[in-house]
Amino acid sequence: MKKKPFYLFLILAAIVLSLSSCFKKQSFSEIPEIGYMGTELVFGTGQDAKELIFSISYQDGNGDIGLAANDTFPPKDKNGLYYYNFVINYYQKINGVFQQLNDSIPFSARIPVLTPDDPGKAIKGYIIDTIKLILPLHDTIRLDAFIYDRAYHKSNVITTPEIVLRRR
């Protein structure tokens, strides 16, 4: 009679092992990939949007997306190419043609380390960024965006559809 718990354990272990084989471990490229999820405008009392909420999805095969607070040495210093790892380029439509706004107003951001406890793990998720809009001169914009991982791999570039910043 004492062997019954052992057999029960074997049966449960077999069930767990067979079920675990059903869950495929996800694997992605070690070069990050992003996708456009959407934008949402936030209006105050006037006709012009005050903020733009920008959402993207991401996936990375080795989970090395994100910068630590102390990642500020070249080439991740304030003037370095990799200081911002979520790069957003802002374009205004002027006379029917999109022109990039100069770099004096940064729209890019620093994504914090996403896998502090489990480096090397494939990850996916989404990022939502709120962009403050400072008196846009033109009512139609678009954004281009990409990310860098810690190995300096650049993701694909996504482009939003046209975004009208004024109420109609």
Tell me the sheet residues that pair with 57: 35, 126
Q: 14-49 pLDDT, tens per residue?
A: 555 455 445 456 678 999 999 999 999 999 888 889
Q: What is the mean pLDDT of the chain?
A: 85
User: H helices of the chain, where?
Assistant: 4-20
Cis ω before 112 (30° cut-off from 0): no
- Please determine, for residue 10, whether its predicted confidence score (pLDDT) is greater than 60: no
Which domains are assigned to the chain? 27-164 (2.60.40)
Mean pLDDT of 142-165: 97
Q: 51-109 pLDDT, tens per residue?
A: 999 999 999 999 999 999 999 999 999 999 999 999 999 999 999 999 998 766 678 99
pLDDT of residue 77: 94
pLDDT of residue 123: 92
The C-alpha angle 84, 138, 157, rounded to 5 degrees, equals: 35
Residue 121 backbone dihedrals phi, psi, to 5 degrees: -90, 135
- Please determine, for residue 132, whether its predicted confidence score (pLDDT) is greater than 60: yes
